[in-house]
A = this chain, B = another copy of it.
Amino acid sequence: MAKTASPRARSRNLVGGLVDALRAEIADGTFEAGDKLPSEARLTERFGVSRTVVREAIAGLRADGLVAPRQGAGVFVLEPPEVTTPFHLADYERISSVIEMLELRVAVEMEAASLAAVRRSPQQEEAIFEAAALLPRHAAEGRPTKEADLAFHLAMADATNNPRFREFLEVLGLSMIPRAALTIGDAPSPPDYIDLLSAEHSRIAEAISAGDSEAARGAAQAHLRNSMARYREYIRR
């Protein structure tokens, strides 16, 4: 009698362990959508547990919408549910999708820069300059520049003293960063590109530091519109 063919059985009760094991096999592609899971009888012998345990595990997966048992036929794996994250990029291939996101970001970040200019505390001002300095440093060290770029924008969002701005960037970040690497490149970005980016950041930081709301708005707008242009350029290869 084979015991726990699957390597992992950590949960304190058998059902939990089996759920984890099956969930993992579904996740890693052992079973794909539409496939039929092994029958309860086979699972009982394969995992060395009773049918009760197997059935409760399947009931759990069913509740999670991962599988759908059909009496007499078997237990079938369902399609992973449509990810319904608010600002989900449906298809990264569509250039327009990325442009659309950037446009929304322009809207928010222009205002963020403007508000930051009149509201930033000395600490926040400092944080912005530090974040701005991060980008060239990381580039010089050959580290990925993506996070440094994001860090600057987050620092600016924080300086509005309205947490919703950071929230917005974080929600968006999840859905645009993955392929954002594409636009800047996971390969070390060309130095002149980093210089450009860095200069634009500095201009924003200076305006915020000076408390010049309109200049900050303009600098942020210029920065993101340039990013958009660079993205279009990149797409055109």
Nearest to A97 among chain B residues (CB) is B164
Q: Which residues of chain A from 75 to 108 have a CB within 8 Å of any chain B CB? A: 86-87, 100-101, 103-104, 106-108
With both chains docked as a complex, state the minimum distance between the C-beta of A137 and any C-beta of chain B, in angstroms.
30
Are the CB atoms of A167 and B86 closer together than 8 Å?
yes
Are the CB atoms of B19 and A63 closer together than 8 Å?
yes
Give CA–CA (A18, B52) in the complex, Å: 18
- How many monomers of this protein are in the complex? 2
Nearest to A161 among chain B residues (CB) is B100
A56 interfacial by beta-carbon distance below 8 Å = yes
Binds B, one of A26-34, A110-118, A177-185: A110-118
Counting chain B CB atoms within 10 Å of each CB, the highest count among A56, A64, A86, A107 belongs to A107
Give CA–CA (A68, B158) in the complex, Å: 38
With both chains docked as a complex, state the minimum distance between the C-beta of A45 and any C-beta of chain B, in angstroms.
20
> Which A residues form the contact surface with B (CB < 8 A)?
13, 15, 19, 52, 55-57, 59-64, 71, 86-87, 100-101, 103-104, 106-108, 110-112, 115, 160, 162-165, 167-168, 171
Nearest to A15 among chain B residues (CB) is B59
Nearest to A170 among chain B residues (CB) is B86
Q: Which residues of B contact A103 (CB under 8 A)?
A: 111, 115, 160, 162, 164
Contact A162 to B100, CB < 8 A, known contacts A108-B107, A167-B86: yes
Are the CB atoms of A104 and B171 closer together than 8 Å?
no
With both chains docked as a complex, state the minimum distance between the C-beta of A144 and any C-beta of chain B, in angstroms.
25
Q: Which residues of B contact A55 (CB under 8 A)?
A: 52, 56
Are the CB atoms of B104 and A164 closer together than 8 Å?
yes
5 new A-B contacts, CB < 8 A, other than A59-B63, A107-B110, are A60-B60, A63-B64, A86-B87, A104-B164, A104-B165
Nearest to A105 among chain B residues (CB) is B164
Are the CB atoms of B59 and A101 closer together than 8 Å?
no
Q: Which residues of B contact A162 (CB under 8 A)?
A: 100, 103-104
